Amino acid sequence: MSGMKPAIYTTVAHDEHDERHHGAVTFPIYQNTLFSFAGYHQPANPYTYSRGTNPTVRELERKLAELEGGEDARCCASGMAAISAAILSRVQAGDHIVCVDQVYTGTRAFLEGWLPRFGVSTTFVNGASLPDLEAATLEHTVLLYLESPTSFFFELQDIAACAALAKRRGLTTILDNSWATPCFQRPLELGVDLVVHSLTKYVGGHSDALGGAVIGSRDNIRRILEKEGVLLGGVMTAHTASLMLRGLRTLPLRMERYRQTGRIVADYLSGLAFINRINYPGLPNHPQHKLAIQQMDGFGSLLSFEWDVPLEQAQAWADALRYYRNGCSWGGYESLVLVIAPLSELGRSEPGILVRLYSGLEEPQALIDDMANAFAAILAGA
């Protein structure tokens, strides 16, 4: 594992001296709804109204595009706003989408429950199988939607192979890169057309700001900016952009910490005989570990494990934890646990419960001791 590219540290930390802002080292918050112009015969002002563009938001977009290796980016009010804008920018009535079956639940609800109202259909396919993805492609398919790794079972897609398939079939590819971030994975370099992020997670990093982003070529982002980005109104505010810029400054440092802690926690869980399976692509026994190290530079600290106990017992274990708080998100400084559901409700045939674990910035040994104490207490009473 080579680790993240050294240049990423400089990209997030360094800005040139800017006399426009009196040398301010933190980019100013342009808390404006509109921007006046000097006169009708003066040079055009690139900023007119913050529903379209805003200087603070634009600075965040510039940084994100640079980190992902894209030409431009569009920031939105949430990850879901970015996902829906990206998808809508590529489809119209009568079109068909192929999507990985373990996609984020909000994305699936949008594709499965909302888009059919407007004549757009979706086929959900095992993302680990390139032949299955290709077989699902129809004459009217226009979009291949990927998420690698996924956020429940942490399944990967062969990104380069999927992008090549899409190009052969004339499809657009969108990939949700929230789990890996550009620190550990850069899908645009592997041929993907558009990358989406929930900036709420690792990029924001402090659990205090909602946001999303779409990153890609200048032409693809301009389409979103001129239509979906403005007309749907899911606009990021200048204040939120400032919080995201703050989080971005330390993103590589935090991701390195999460990489270390994630592996320590995964190794601990792997040593427990009563845990059936650890879903974490950083482990050598993950079925797609070879692919993971080919297309990723590292792994975060969000994983899941499968435990063959009653749902109530798994929930009692989560309640007994001290440092892992019950919560549905991830990417902040705090550790979180989520008892998701019986595996049978998630399309799996084997018995057991799926538990998702996010390890934050606490001392790794404290997190392990916390789990060990909770396991001991719950299993003793079983």
Q: Which H or E run includes 166?
A: helix 159-169
Contacts of 329 (CB under 8 A, 6+ apart): 200, 201, 207, 336, 358
Confidence of residue 107 (pLDDT cuts 50, 70, 90): very high
Looking at 11-15, 87-91, 188-192, 360-364, which range is the least confident one? 11-15
| pTM exceeds 0.85 | yes
- Helix, strand, coil abundance in the chain, percent, nearest 5: 40, 15, 40
> Which bin fits 140, alpha (ψ -120 to 50), beta or left (φ > 0)?
alpha
C-beta of residue 268 within 8 angstroms of C-beta of residue 31:
no
Contacts of 343 (CB under 8 A, 6+ apart): 306, 349, 350, 351, 352, 353, 354
Q: For the segment 185-208, what is each residue's pLDDT rounded down to a tens digit?
A: 999 999 999 999 999 999 999 999
Contacts of 310 (CB under 8 A, 6+ apart): 353
Bridge partners, 339 (sequence order):
355
Q: For the segment 298-355, what is each residue's pLDDT rounded down to a tens digit?
A: 999 999 999 999 999 999 999 999 999 999 999 999 999 999 999 999 989 999 999 9
Confidence of residue 382 (pLDDT cuts 50, 70, 90): low
C-beta of residue 100 within 8 angstroms of C-beta of residue 147:
yes
Q: For the segment 257-268, what is each residue's pLDDT rounded down to a tens digit?
A: 999 999 999 999
What pLDDT does residue 20 have?
Answer: 85
Angstrom distance (rounded) from CA 370 to CA 321: 6
What pLDDT does residue 1 have?
Answer: 44
Residue with tokens 């700001």: 209
Domains of the chain: 7-249 (3.40.640.10), 252-380 (3.90.1150.10)
Residue with tokens 């798994």: 314
Q: Looking at per-residue confidence, does 86 or 22 come out higher?
A: 86
Confidence of residue 45 (pLDDT cuts 50, 70, 90): confident
